[in-house]
Structures are given as structure tokens and as C-alpha cells.
Structure 1
Amino acid sequence: MKPTSVRLILIGSAISLALAGFGIFSYTIFRPVSQEASSSPSPAVPATPNAISALGRLEPAGGVFKIASPSATLGGGVGGSRVTRLLIKEGARVKADQPLAVIDNYDSLLASAMQAEAQVKEAQAQLAQVEAGAKQGDINAQRASVLRANAELPKAEADFQRADAEYRKAQWEAERYGQLFQSGAISESELRDRTLNLETKEKQRQQVRQAVEQAKLELEGARQTLNSVSEVRPTDVQQAQARVQVAVANFQKARADLNNAIVRAPVEGQVLKIYADPGEVIGNDGILDLGKTSQMYAVAEVDETYIGQVKAGQRAIITSYAFPGEIGGTVERVGLQVSKNAVLSTDPVEKTDTRVVEVKIRLDDSTTTAGLSNLQVKVAINTAGATP
């Protein structure tokens, strides 16, 4: 071989090696990002013959509670009330029946409740007074009135007897002098004097008779009054009891209205989000969201085609990019209604309109997911009963 041919062969080989090295370098530097991303680890649910895969979401036990004001409807619907005081912060854990917020009508309702309570006490005092009857001092005073009236009656009757005797005497004299005048034994003036005396005695007799009747009436009235103050009538007691019942009912209503001005936690849980701060009107979202994050659930949307294979008690695995590893769980309840899927996959190949049934899965460990309500997850349900 000629030296010139050898030289050309060596130069060509060197050029080929250089081009190959440059190609490998260029591929390493400029390879597509999608290929690099596809090689990263994925939380995909392990595929096994007995596993049903589905998308789902996380939610607290019992779902998310929308807490609104009970007095909002009383005040004219949603948006009619304002938050005066907010007693908790976002993320705080609360107990059942713990006060969460105070509504703007609290002060006026508190005044109404205090007034109603005072009316109850007043009605109860009146009932006790009726049941006890009149005071002993009033009874003794009325007995004294009866004694005085009883003493006045005999005196009035004695005065009437004297007046009646004088009247009868004057009547006899007038008749006698009338006979004497007829026989001419006395003058007309003497007859007139006896007649006037008879008229005077008759008027006096009538006045004394009226005094006797008045004394009898006063005695009877004093006796009736004594009986009235001494007697506790059942009708008076019933009337007083009815007044107490009305006052108690008004107080209970006022207290219920006051309780509606304080928003309380219906269950023990964690405050997930606050929608209305102090001074703000309560909107359609209510005041806050509350959830039992101590126990989280995965709500898997299982395709209607495979729902017949899912049963309560089956084991499941839940995965997501938001937390490391995987979390086990147990199917607690299979839904009874088929609906359109709400959790959509980001994979453009998968269907976006699927008929699904919701399956609730109780997580074994809620520590890492307590703050991830509504997180999208992937679920694998082992239909054979063993852990996938």
C-alpha cells in the first residue's frame, strides 16, 4: 500500500471517530426533556391481575362541613349577617360545640334574653305570693274591721228602737190631739204642733233605719273581705301558673335566638379554611370549612364497569406525588349512585367523561394527609381481598 493511501485511511478514521464522539455528546446534552421526565419515578398504582385502579380525592371523615350562621336565615337569608368576632384561627383544632364566631346581632339578643329571664322571675314571685295567700298582718287588720262593724250594728239597732218608740209615741199623741180638736177641746195650733212632731220623729226613724242597713252592709263586706284575703282560690293559682309558663316560653325562645348568634362547631375537627373575617358579611361559602382530619378517607371514582367487583372490607393502596411512599386503606363503603367523574386525569389519552361510582376508603394512617383535603390520588383496590 502506498504511503499516500495509508495517510488518507488514517485521516478518514480520525474524522469518523470525532463525528461519533460529537454525536454522543450532542445527544447527551440536547436530548428531549420529555424523555428525561418519563424516566423519573412515578407514583403509579402497581398493576396486578386482582387490582382495580381509579383516580380519587382525599377528604376528612364525614366530608367537609360548611359552617354558616344559624341566624343568617332568620336575618333575611345568606348575606344578611356579619361576623363580629372570630374565636379561632385557620388550622386550629376544635371540639364539638366549641364557639367559633359571634354574629352581629348577639348584643341585642342578649338584652332580650336578660329581659325575658327577669320576667320569669317576676312571674314566679307572683305565683308564690298567690299560693301563700295574704300577709298575716293584712288578715289581722281585716279581722279588726269585722269586729268594728259587728260592734256598730247593735248600736245602730238600739238607736232605731229608740227612734221607733219616739215615733210611735208621737203618732199616738197626734191621733189623740186630732180627736180632741174634733170635740173642740184644743185649738188648731196645738194639733199642728203634734202633727209636726210626728213628721219629725218619722224622718228620724227613717234615718236611723238607714244607719242600721248601712251597718249590716259594712259588716257583711268586712266578712267577705276577710274570707277573700284568707282564702287561696284555685283559679288564682292557675292564672299565676299560666303567667309563669308564658314567661318561661318567652325566655326559652330568647335564649335559643341568642344561641343562634354564636356559631359553634357541630363536630370535633380542624378548621380548614376561613371565608369571613370580623366585620365581613357571611357569603355563600359560609364562615369556614371544618373537617375531621384526624381520620382521612380516599374517595375513589371506580368505573361503573368494574364496580361489581368492589366490596366493603377489601384492601387498597393510595399513592400521590404529594406524599412519599404509599398508604394502605380499607374499603368502608361502596356508593349507591352512578354519576359523572369529577376527578380528571392529566393524561390526554384517558377518557374525560366516565360513569363512575364513589368508593370510600378509610386510610390506615392519616398523619401525612391531614392537611391535604381534596388532593388528587391514585387508588388500587385489591378485589381478591389481599393487599395489592
Structure 2
Amino acid sequence: MLSLLWTLLLLATGGVAGYFLARFMPDAPSASPVSAPTGSPRIAALGRLEPAAGIVHVYGPVGDRIARLYPLAPGQSLQQGQPIAELASAEERQKQVALAELELQELQDRFDAAKQAGEAKIRAAEAEWQQAMAARDQDLAAQDARLEYLTQQLQVAEKSLERLEQLRASRVTVPAEEYDKARLAVAQAKAERQAAEALRRKTLLSYQHADKVGQARKAAAEQELREALARFPLQSAKARWDHARDQWERHRMVRAPISGQILHVQANPGQTITQEPLLTMADVSRMIVRTEVYEGDVERLRQALHHGSVLATIQAPALPRSLRGSVSDENVISRMISLNRVFSLDPRMDRDRRVVEVLVPLDPGDTNLAARFVNLQVTVLFELPASSAAELPKASEQ
């Protein structure tokens, strides 16, 4: 009886110990779902399907409201500039454009009127100036002719006086009255000539003064016109009109920023726009896999590229078939090591891994299929050439 009790006690103790060992002891590490089989010339990594040109989120002006949402659906193609939604503020912005245009037109009309009045004043000043200067050449020419006549008259009088003086020097009797008349004629001719010269100088100075006055009046009229036109802020009014038109054109509706395909629609008619995107779109004509290669496998991949392109097989449970891609040069391999952002679905796997980003272009024949699964997490298997498989040890052996 005592031995039976001891047997039962030992069995109970063993069962409790086995339970606690099974409950609290860590599981044996299992193989990573992204690790290639031992001895296989492959590199396995996780990644995501993405458009080569990236994903574009389309936003609207925060606080505005969607008055009309054009028919949109995932998979629909849009051209750059194609309308997506009409905004409720478009009507108010159009009124602002009309008001700015009216203010600009009124200012332009006043500007044109002031310009016409100023130009008329300039023409009047120029006409007065030209009129004042019109007789200058004739007057000076007439006075020059009179001076020529008086000069000749003086010369004749001087010759007559000189002849009489020669006769008197030869002791020829010359009547005193005749001699005095000759002297008087010379003096009179000199006086008349001097008076004519003074008159010509005065006339010339008068015309020079009139010329300066005419130029000054014209310049004053031109300056007055410039000052009058400067009071009209046409440039700022036009800038306000352009700004109002630009705001109306930019905010009356939301347009597609690129040509591409709609991935996801979040907007609804009548909703107030927030900081969330209205829709998400992308150019899916070229697809890639943004792959995270474990830091210990990167050098193997680089060495393999020395022997030619490295083919890649892309797999995921959601895909109806595997996709194909290839890496042909090192330009698609990042030079920076970072923490992984793609995580294995196996909860036992290490979630803190050092990886290097590698962009793997997909074959053109797989683009349409990949475009249906944007952002899908996939497993990428790089097929290393046999000639490079043995050059470097695998990360698990280092």
C-alpha cells in the first residue's frame, strides 16, 4: 500500500514538472521564413510591391467642402489635370475674381483718362513752344539782311569821307558843308549798324529764352503726367486680380497631379476636407519590389552581380502565381543599413533586424498583375549564379 502511494506521488510530481517545463521553457528556434534552404545558392528576403515612381496621396484645401465628387473607383485611370472633385468655395472665389476684375477695369479707365488729359497738355505745351519758335529763323534772317545792308551803307559813307579827306590833303578846296555831311553820314551809318546788331542780339536772346521756357513747360507737363499716372496702382490691382484668378483656378476643384491609376478612394460628396488624402494613386506602368536584404547577405548579392544579372522570384499567398524580376547593377542597392520595416508573420521570428534596401524591378509581363497588389508583403528569392555561390559564406555561417 505504501509503495502504491509513493508511485502515485512520483507520477503526480513528474506531471507537474512536465507541465511547467512545457509552459515556461522557450520554444526551439525555427527556421526563418525568409531563409533559403541550407546549401541552396539563394538569398531570401522580405519586401513589398510598389510602383517605381512611388505612391501619390491627393489632398485638398483643408476646411473646404466637396460640392461634387466625380465618379472614382480603384483601378480607374486618370490623366494629369483631370478633375477629381469640385469645391464649395469655388462660387465665392469666382465672385472675388469678378470683384478684382471690376476694380482693375475701373482703375484702368481712370488711368487712361488721366493719361489722355496729360498727353493733351503736353501737346499744347509743345504747340506753344513750336509756335513761339516758328518765326525765329525768319526774324533772324531779316535782321541779318538789314545788317548786311547797313554794313554796305557804312562802307559807302566811309569811302565818301575818305575821298574828301584825300582831296583836302591835296589842298583841294572841299566845302565844309559837304565834308560835314560826309562825316555825319558815316556816324549815322555806324549808329544804325550798331542798333541793328543790338536788336539782333536781343531777338536771339528772346528766342533762346522762349526755347527754354517751352522746353520747361513741356517737361513740367510730362512730369505732371508721370506723377498723375503713378497715383494709379495698376500693378498691384492686376496682381490682386491674377491672385484671385489663380486661387479660383487652383481651389475651385481638385485635379489629378499625375497620370496614373487610382489605388484607394477616401473622399465622399459633401464632406469637409481634412488633412487626410482624398484618394491615393500611382503610376503603375513600372512596378518594383522594395526588398529588405539581411545585412549579412548583401555582399553575396554584390558579388553575384559581378557575374551578371541576378534573377528574383517573388512569392506571396495572395498572388495567383509567382512574379519575376531581376537586379542588373549595384545602383539599386542602398548604401545604408537600417532597421527592417517589413516583418515576418511568424511571431517567433526576430523583429529587430539590420537590413539593406534593394529595389528589384519586375519583368514587364508581371506589371499588370503586380499593380493589383500594391503594398503587398512578399518573399523574394534571389537566384545566385553557381559561379558566385561559393565565394562568400552565408550570413548564418559567419
- Per the TM superposition, whether the score is higher than 0.5 is yes
Distance in 2 of aligned mates of 1:373 and 1:293: 9
Superposition deviation, residue 131 in structure 1: 3.0
* Structure 1 position 278, deviation (Å): 0.8
Q: Does the 8 Å CA contact 1:101/1:264 hold for their aligned counterparts? A: yes
CA distance in 2, matches of 1:371, 1:305: 32
2:257 aligns to what? 266
Of residues 283, 297, 302, the one that matches 2:293 is: 302
User: SS where residue 233 of structure 1 aligns?
Assistant: helix
Whole-angstrom CA distance in 2 between matches of 1:363 and 1:386 = 24
Residue matched to 1:23: none
Which residue is equivalent to 2:68? 85
Measured after TM superposition, the shift of residue 88 of structure 1 is 4.0
Which residue of structure 2 lines up, in the alignment, with residue 234 of structure 1? 226
- Seen in structure 2, the aligned counterparts of structure 1 residues 256 and 308 have a Cα distance that, compared at 3 Å, is farther
Superposition pairs for residues 1-388 of structure 1, below 5 Å?
50-69=41-60, 71-72=61-62, 80-90=63-73, 91-133=75-117, 233-240=225-232, 243-261=233-251, 262-310=253-301, 314-321=310-317, 322-330=319-327, 333-347=332-346, 350-365=349-364, 366-382=367-383
The answer to whether the 8 Å contact 1:303/1:356 transfers is yes
Q: Matched residue of 2:286: which SS?
A: strand
State the Cα deviation string for residues 28-84 of structure 1 (Å, max 9, x = none): xxxxxxxxxxxxxx9998988553210111112232212111x22xxxxxxx33322
Q: Equivalent residue of 1:367, what SS?
A: helix
Relative to the length of structure 1, the TM-score reads: 0.55
Code of the residue aligned with 1:345 in structure 2: it is S
> How many Å separate the matches in 2 of 1:87 and 1:352?
43
Deviates more, 1:353-362 or 1:334-343: 334-343
- Whether contact under 8 Å (1:88, 1:101) holds in the other structure is no
SS of the residue corresponding to residue 234 of structure 2 reads helix
Are the structure 2 counterparts of residues 48 and 115 from structure 1 closer, same or farther at C-alpha, using a change threshold of 3 Å? farther
Change (3 A) 1:371 1:283: farther
Secondary structure, in 3 states, of the residue corresponding to 1:62?
coil
What's the TM-score once normalised by structure 2's chain length? 0.54
Shift in Å, 1:303: 1.1
Deviations 1:193-236 (A, max 9, x none): xxxxxxxxxxxxxxxxxxxxxxxxxxxxxxxxx999x8671222
Residues 105-157 of structure 1: per-residue CA shift (max 9 Å, x gap): 22211211222123233333333333333698xx99xxxxxxxxxxxxxxxxx
Distance 1:65 1:48 in 2: 42
CA contact (8 A) 1:310 1:334 kept: no
Per-residue deviation, residues 174-204 of structure 1 (Å, max 9, x unmatched): xxxxxxxxxxxxxxxxxxxxxxxxxxxxxxx
Matches of 1:255 and 1:368 in 2, distance apart? 43
Q: Alpha-carbon deviation of 1:319? A: 2.4
Structure 2's unaligned 5+ residue stretches are 1-32, 125-216, 390-398
Would you say the 8 A contact 1:314–1:386 is kept in 2? no
1:107 and 1:329 map into 2 onto residues whose CA distance is 53
Comparing 95-104 and 358-367, the one that deviates more: 95-104
Q: Which runs of 5+ in 1 are unaligned?
A: 1-41, 73-79, 141-225
Change in CA separation of 1:345 and 1:110 when aligned onto 2, cut-off 3 Å: same
Distance 1:48 1:251 in 2: 73
> What letter corresponds to residue 341 of structure 2 in structure 1?
A
Kindly report the root-mean-square deviation, in angstroms, between the aligned alpha carbons of the 2 structures: 3.8
One-letter code aligned to 1:93: S
SS of residue in 1 equivalent to 2:370:
coil
Q: C-alpha separation between the residues in 1 aligned to 2:228 and 2:291? A: 69
Structure 2: distance between partners of 1:387 and 1:367: 33
SS in 2 for 1:100: strand
Tell me if the contact between 2:66 and 2:86 (Cα under 8 Å) persists in the aligned partners: yes
CA distance in 1 between counterparts of 2:342 and 2:374 reads 13
Partner of 1:19: none
2-structure distance, mates of 1:237, 1:259: 31
What is the alpha-carbon distance in structure 2 between the residues aligned to residue 385 and residue 285 of structure 1?
50
- C-alpha distance after superposition, 1:245-271 (max 9, x if no partner): 011111222223223422222211111
Kindly indicate whether the alpha-carbon contact (under 8 Å) linking 2:36 and 2:44 is maintained by their aligned counterparts in 1.
yes
Aligned-pair CA distance for 1:273: 0.9
Q: Would you say the 8 A contact 2:259–2:283 is kept in 1?
A: yes
Q: How far apart are 1:347 and its partner, in Å?
A: 3.8
Distance 2:290 2:67 in 1: 36
